[in-house]
Homo-oligomer: A and B are copies of this chain.
């Protein structure tokens, strides 16, 4: 597959669209157009790529090989519904949306789900980011696999139900852990201590997971059953009933996990 002969339209101009477009263009894929309903966003990404853009679906280039929809879950069905039918491959990038959302409108379609969080101002290196592919026919599957494989060495097939579980696991491992960091930061701030003092501990906690499973890596008062420390911690949280409740819930879950499985 000669990447430079593959014409791609980006449907969306947000963080993921930007990062995917840059990565594909770097592999010499031919990005031919950017669509976004927001004119400023469309121009920003199109200028970065040096390609034309449009805010109207009626102006969309209809002979591209691949249309990548990187949109919010709310916008996705609306845009799909207003899209012209083309012979190209249409993929979305959403964790919790089924592939068959394209079924009534397109012939060749699928999903291209990079399992990563993207910020606009920090370029993502997709090199080891798992990309999960789904397709409605074999030719589409092959095309998507090769395209994903040009930017990542970790490409897998996953059906829509698997992908929902992936997304859900990401919410626990990324979104919810980040919330716990906000609580830790607030607790430190109460004593005028900077969040930075937690960085080595956080890095070590994540670093251990390279060699240990999370259940083997568990440390702390709950797994030791150290109730005197836990009572003292609950006392410190007396002014924060929601955090105290969370402390208790998580500690009990950890104790239960290690009494039943070890």
Contacts and interface: CB of A to CB of B under 8 A. Distances in A.
A111 B257 CA distance: 33
A179 B218 contact: yes
Most buried by B among A173, A202, A221: A173
A222 interface: yes
Contact of A165 (B72, B175, B236, B246): B236
A122 B161 CA distance: 38
A50 interface: no
A181 B187 contact: no
A213 interface: yes
A159 to B, nearest CB: 9
The A contact surface, by secondary structure, is helix
Interface string A151-186: 000101010011011111111111111111111110
A233 interface: yes
Contact of A201 (B116, B236, B246): B116
Nearest to A95: B229
Copy tally for this chain in the complex stands at 2
A129 to B, nearest CB: 5
A187 B169 contact: yes
Interface stretch (A36-44, A62-70, A136-144, A190-198): A190-198
A172 B179 CA distance: 10
A128 B200 contact: yes
A128 B200 CA distance: 7
Interface stretch (A21-29, A85-93, A247-255): A247-255
A138 B4 CA distance: 70
Interface stretch (A5-13, A51-59, A102-110, A204-212): A204-212
A132 to B, nearest CB: 8
Nearest to A256: B242
A60 interface: no
A124 interface: yes
A96 interface: yes
